[in-house]
Chain A
Amino acid sequence: MKLDQVLRVVRACVGAGLAAACVASAAAAQTDVVPPEPAPDAPSCAGVPLAASPDAESPLVDPAKDLRSAIADGRGDRDWGEWLAGECLACHGPHAVAGAGIPPLAPLGPMAFASALEEYRRHLRADPGMRLLASRLAPDEVAALAAYFASLPPEVGAGRGAVETPEGARP
């Protein structure tokens, strides 16, 4: 039912003061609309496979020299990084190994991790959420995060992150 139809019914009923007639006319207005043909690109509404993230590509740029040396020398504040990582884990999961749709953090080494953040910060990677979060991180915070993720046990992430279809989706 189009809004103007509703309003037409509403105004007519209010103007006539005929509540009983309104039930009939409003119901009629709801049923006499011819259903439109589906648009050619309309979804089936029956489920689709999940796509991979467009941001899972390999790094392009290096972090700044000071940050590189801080990471290389292991000067990042791991405990601060653990606190900061809470922000990462909401999407990447507590073991930093989110499934299809969000790139995993666990396989990244500290330098690749810092590079990825630098690429988001420079808008060389697409995701607007990561651009936002990366641009809020100061270099010592990136070093702290890198130190924390580097401290996670290497077996974390094994066998996870496989592509899955939505649970409950119907063919």
Chain B
Amino acid sequence: MKRRHFIGAAVASAAALGAPMLRAQGRPRVVVVGGGAGGATVARYLAKDSAGALDVVLVEPNVVYSSCFFSNLTLADLRSPESLEHGYDRLGAFGITLVHDRATGVDRARREVTLGAGGVLAYDKLVLAPGIDFVPGSVTGWSEADDEIFPHAYRGGAQVALLRAQLGAMRPGGTFALVAPPNPYRCPPGPYERVSMVACLLSRINPTAKVLVLDPKPSFSKQALFEDGWARHYPGVVEWIGPDAGGAAVEVRPGVGEIVVAGAVLRVDVANIIPAQKAGAIADAAGLTEGGWVPVEPLALATKADPAVHVLGDAAAQGDMPKSGFSANSQAKVVANAIRAELTGSRAFPPRYANTCWSAIAPGDGVKVGATYSAGEGKIAAGAGFISQAGEAAELRAATYAESFAWYDAISEDIFG
């Protein structure tokens, strides 16, 4: 017999928890798994807009969210780690029930989520926003057990702080190496913004240090902008090694501080390994992944395998949108509108999506890329877009940089209340 997880008086009866289809008298329940940019936004918009008509439960193991977006800026001390931390208390004010536990399984036939503490949560609709996990073995010689030596620093928080500390302690003239991930992965410009911020820090505290990028991809997001910025701000510091020069098949040796590139052993002082990625584990546990990601319909990100389950944000294979906090926030609003309409009869509006990714190349030198998206044939399809240009006026770059800070504050409030 399963132990029930009681989350509040309103849902404390066995019938309410275990048999959603029989709960004609109760409010429909939406369980949201994952309290990041996608999950917290969908929970907030569901609760805010339904004004009590829906029972919204947010399952998130952490009590504090440290955003991955903007975390690169902490590496150059342009942002404090504390300024990227967000609590969930304000979401509670919208009537959302917070369950600080890890979802470990989904019984889609019974419409139940299993929790790490042993309880279950019944749902009428389930939204999974689990973010990313790393593909084991994708970087030869590295596993997550090595992340205290060679951090990935790709989920924000403590790993990023560790990388900052390692950079601060690096020997004068040392080498920092970043192993970039293959497509698709979270935040396409992220590794290259990170390179910029590391070079920025080192130019201040360790000006003879070197930055090496080992990349399995022949090209990368905002490449012309980053390469132009590296040449202007950090001349001679950053070297990018693409797949033609051995960047695709590296072997890392965390125990001895080495990386093997095309058969040559390079000694590295600090290394940041960003492995290949896949949807967060709960997506696999729910039996929803194909090739590591979850295929979803473009109209409201319902999974192609189960219309009662929506998957959004980084975990979704939705089409053309980049995996970003902005994309997840945009998708979450579409999902919330569609679920609320389905469960409460509220108005359903046509979906529309947008994304913008800002990147800091140096303090006061920001660039951005963005596009609109719409529900196309079988996928979310890109519409028109824009990207910053090399050679733009310094004033424009400064404005773009400032804009990114304003965006961070705005979207944080849009996500967490």
Give chain A's interface residues, CB within 8 Å of chain B.
1-3, 6-7, 9-10, 13-14, 19, 22-23, 26-27, 30-31, 33, 35-36, 38-39, 41-48, 50-54, 79-80, 82-84, 86-87, 89-95, 98-102, 126, 128-129, 131-133, 135-136, 164, 166-170
The answer for the CA separation of A48 and B401 in the assembled complex, in Å, is: 10
Q: A2-B239, A136-B352 are in contact. Are A35 and B83 (CB under 8 A)?
A: no
Residue of B nearest to A129 (CB): B370
Judge whether A14 and B175 touch: CB under 8 Å: no
> Considering residues A10, A44, A101, A169, which has the most beta carbons from chain B within 10 angstroms of its beta carbon?
A101
Q: A3-B245, A26-B266, A93-B409 are in contact. Are A36 and B235 (CB under 8 A)?
A: yes
The answer for the CA separation of A71 and B237 in the assembled complex, in Å, is: 55
Q: Point out the residue from B73, B203, B329, B407 that lies within 8 Å of A102, measured CB to CB.
A: B407
Judge whether A132 and B77 touch: CB under 8 Å: no
Judge whether A168 and B79 touch: CB under 8 Å: yes
The answer for the CA separation of A143 and B371 in the assembled complex, in Å, is: 23
Contact-size category for B: 35 or more
Give chain B's interface residues, CB within 8 Å of chain A.
45, 49, 73-74, 76-83, 173, 175, 200-201, 203-204, 207-208, 210, 212, 232-236, 239-241, 245-246, 258, 261-267, 326, 329-330, 333, 337, 347, 349, 352, 354, 356, 362-365, 368, 370-372, 383-386, 394-396, 398-399, 401-407, 409-411, 413-414, 417
User: Top 10 closest A-B pairs, CB basis?
Assistant: A168-B80, A101-B406, A101-B402, A93-B410, A128-B386, A50-B402, A48-B364, A102-B406, A45-B200, A167-B83
The answer for the CA separation of A95 and B409 in the assembled complex, in Å, is: 12
The answer for the CA separation of A98 and B337 in the assembled complex, in Å, is: 24
CB distance from B327 to the nearest CB of A (A): 10
Judge whether A23 and B372 touch: CB under 8 Å: no
Judge whether B232 and A13 touch: CB under 8 Å: no
CB distance from A30 to the nearest CB of B (A): 5
Judge whether A90 and B232 touch: CB under 8 Å: no
Identify 6 residue pairs between A and B in the complex whose beta-carbon atoms are under 8 Å apart, listed by A's number. Answer: A6-B212, A48-B398, A91-B410, A101-B407, A168-B74, A169-B77
The answer for the CA separation of A151 and B210 in the assembled complex, in Å, is: 55
Judge whether A6 and B239 touch: CB under 8 Å: yes
Residue of B nearest to A126 (CB): B396
Judge whether B233 and A43 touch: CB under 8 Å: yes
> Considering residues A84, A102, A129, A169, which has the most beta carbons from chain B within 10 angstroms of its beta carbon?
A129
Judge whether A53 and B403 touch: CB under 8 Å: yes
The answer for the CA separation of A30 and B174 in the assembled complex, in Å, is: 8
Q: Point out the residue from B203, B241, B405 that lies within 8 Å of A45, measured CB to CB.
A: B203
Judge whether B207 and A35 touch: CB under 8 Å: yes
Judge whether A39 and B235 touch: CB under 8 Å: yes
With A6-B245, A13-B263, A169-B77 known, 5 other A-B pairs at CB within 8 A are: A80-B349, A91-B356, A93-B411, A98-B409, A102-B410
Q: Point out the residue from B83, B264, B386 that lies within 8 Å of A132, measured CB to CB.
A: B386
Judge whether A51 and B79 touch: CB under 8 Å: no
CB distance from B207 to the nearest CB of A (A): 6
The answer for the CA separation of A94 and B246 in the assembled complex, in Å, is: 47
Chain A residues, Cβ within 8 Å of B80? 167-168
